[in-house]
Structure 1
């Protein structure tokens, strides 16, 4: 294949994608059948099938058992604000951002002790197998699941203290910095790495996505000087939300 050429299935998928984007094939419209694609574009059944697979993988169409393939409704992405830490507010980042956006956010959580696997241990700067408090969150906006999060805190820091359980006790539900300050641990910096990957089956089930959908993953770690005191993975459906940063300039 020379520069600029495309396989036939990508050419067909590209033309169908253009029709979906410009509204020629509006949401909930049935995609042309495999036979129709074959005849209209002068391609083989294999090419027509591969073109449809491309559109499915991109989340532009979805198959319905016994009915055919239809154009999916594409939601308008909404922002999830990441505005940095402001200690005067005294709340978790989710609470801060929801308040600023005027959103109707709720969440539920479950905490349990666990052993840190190699990846979590590396992020926390501890040995694999050391005990951590693992907390899983499901965040909703007006009842719709918008975000998942799993956090890990080393029990060497929080164990046998009033803040061992992030969502319980006198500071339950407060931000990491406020909780750590209560046990004389001063959180003074945080890192975030943003990436994307195909969603895991259990993530997409919770988020209401379909197999193959991409999720945005924010890997966040809070530090007290050089010591990590909490790390978390925040998972957001990429087709419905975008991550918006608003940070102070010093």
Structure 2
């Protein structure tokens, strides 16, 4: 193989990907069998299998038990707005963003006390094993799971206060900024880091994805006078959503 030349399985995957993109292989069409790919491209069964695996890993095709491999319906990505803090009494950021987009979102949550692992402890600036309140969310739009989130708040900040449980009490369901203000902790900035990785099995099960699908992960942390008071991982299926930022210029 010459320098810079692609392996045969990648060239085949590229050609099949092009056919999917231009509609020659439309959604729900059956992908050529391994034997047919071997014959048409003059390659071994092993090469043909690897080409099919590439397309499956990219989420372009899916296997159906006892039937074969088919081109997946490609959803038109929708936007999830990340526009910064906007004061609105009694409304969480998710509720604000859904309202602004004309959608009606719901969520489910569960909270429990836990110990901060090394990564969470580093983000919160606490010792590994420090007690935190961990809250897991499933956000839905029109009944469809669109986003997962796990947040951690140091109990050294919220413990034994009315806002210890994010979704219960007089400020249940409000945003972090409002809840912290109620205990005289003034949030003054937030950081977000966006990355991508293969989704974990439990995440893809909850989000309706298939093994190998990529998710976008927003690692968000709220600060009050330099002290982290909440950190969260927000997980979004990359094939269905785009994260859009609209930030003020000062």
Q: TM-score, normalised by structure 1?
A: 0.98
CA-CA distance at 1:89 after TM superposition: 5.2
Q: Which residue of 2 aligns with 1:241?
A: 241
Does 2:17 correspond to 1:13?
no
CA distance in 2, matches of 1:190, 1:93: 13
Correspondence 1:33-112 to 2 at 5 A:
33-88=33-88, 90-112=90-112
After superposition, the C-alpha distances for 1:50-107 in whole angstroms (9 at most, x for unaligned) are 1101111111111111111111111111000000011245521101110111112000
Does 2:210 correspond to 1:210?
yes
SS in 2 for 1:235: strand
SS in 1 for 2:185: coil
Q: What do you get for the CA RMSD once the two structures are aligned? A: 0.9
Q: Contact between 1:89 and 1:96, CA under 8 Å: does it hold in 2?
A: no
Q: Contact between 2:90 and 2:173, CA under 8 Å: does it hold in 1?
A: no
CA distance in 1, matches of 2:147, 2:6: 37
Instruction: Point out where structure 1 has 5 or more consecutive residues left out of the alignment.
Output: none
After superposition, the C-alpha distances for 1:128-152 in whole angstroms (9 at most, x for unaligned) are 1111000000000000000000000
Q: Which residue of 1 aligns with 2:227?
A: 227
Q: Which residue of 2 aligns with 1:134?
A: 134
Q: Which residue of 1 aligns with 2:143?
A: 143
After superposition, the C-alpha distances for 1:18-47 in whole angstroms (9 at most, x for unaligned) are 000100000111111111111111111111
Correspondence 1:145-224 to 2 at 5 A:
145-224=145-224
CA distance in 2, matches of 1:145, 1:154: 28
Moved more, 142-151 or 81-90: 81-90
Q: Contact between 1:155 and 1:164, CA under 8 Å: does it hold in 2?
A: yes
Q: TM-score, normalised by structure 2?
A: 0.98
SS in 1 for 2:36: helix
Does 2:126 correspond to 1:122?
no
CA distance in 2, matches of 1:36, 1:206: 35
CA distance in 1, matches of 2:114, 2:133: 6
The 3 A distance-change label for structure 1 pair 88 and 141 is closer
CA distance in 2, matches of 1:213, 1:120: 25
CA-CA distance at 1:4 after TM superposition: 3.5
CA distance in 1, matches of 2:186, 2:196: 31
